[in-house]
Amino acid sequence: MTYKKPLSVGQVAEICCVSKKTVLNWIYDGALKAFTTYGGHYRVWPVNVKKFLDSTGMDIDFEYVDERITHILIIDDDADYSQMLKSAISTELPSAEITATDDGYEGLMLIGEIKPQLVILDIKMPKIDGFQVLDLLKTRKIDHDMKVLVITGYLDEGTKKQLAGTIADHWMDKLADINGMIKTIVSFVRSDKPVFLNGSNN
């Protein structure tokens, strides 16, 4: 059988010939990467089941097709910058679906609709700024497998300290080298261990 869609805890337990409780413990311990549905149920993408089997050395035949579509959301009121960033990302990730908005409120609604793997967020915006968006995303972020990258032109020490207290996974200066920035963005959607080339909260 070839698996394509996210698997339930019960399905993973059946594949690995263990109990559901064992699978849940793997998830709680961070050994098996999973995400939660809005109903609060764990789901595991087949590619992450395969990674877990390989890392633990389990001799289990497991075939899968990775049908995940990379969704990236850019929330930035600078339309020219957003378009430049969108074009640069598309060059490295041609199959990615990239959406951009200049409104933090609309960004929050889009996160619920498209469930992006990565949100690229500006700080200084009208109506609602990036810090307010980050605060409102606290509960939303755990509902699915999503990373938040802050890109701002105001990355002073005070801003870095403030970001360290948020759910942001990483932050970079807008004036940073665009090639390094794209490498970091690509690493967020292609790897469980992003490549941090500039400032980070880790």
Do the bridges between strand 63-64 and strand 2-3 make them parallel or antiparallel, or are there none, so unpaired?
A: parallel
Element spanning 145, H or E: none
* Domain range annotation of the chain: 2-64, 71-190
Nearest Cα neighbor of 64 from 17, 13, 7, 26 is 7
In this predicted structure, what is the pLDDT of residue 112? 81
In this predicted structure, what is the pLDDT of residue 141? 61
Do the bridges between strand 71-75 and strand 42-44 make them parallel or antiparallel, or are there none, so unpaired?
A: unpaired
Indicate left, alpha or beta for 115 from its phi (over 0: left) and psi (-120 to 50: alpha).
left
Q: Which CATH class is domain 71-190?
A: alpha beta
In this predicted structure, what is the pLDDT of residue 198? 42
Determine whether domain 2-64 maps to CATH 1.10.1660.10.
yes
The C-alpha R_g of the chain, in whole angstroms, comes to: 18
In this predicted structure, what is the pLDDT of residue 38? 58
Q: How far is it, in rounded angstroms, from Cα 87 to Cα 173?
A: 18
In this predicted structure, what is the pLDDT of residue 196? 47
Predicted TM-score (pTM) above 0.75 = no
Return averaged pLDDT per consecutive 10 residues of the chain, 202 residues in all.
Answer: 89 96 95 79 89 92 80 93 92 88 91 87 90 85 75 89 91 88 86 48 42
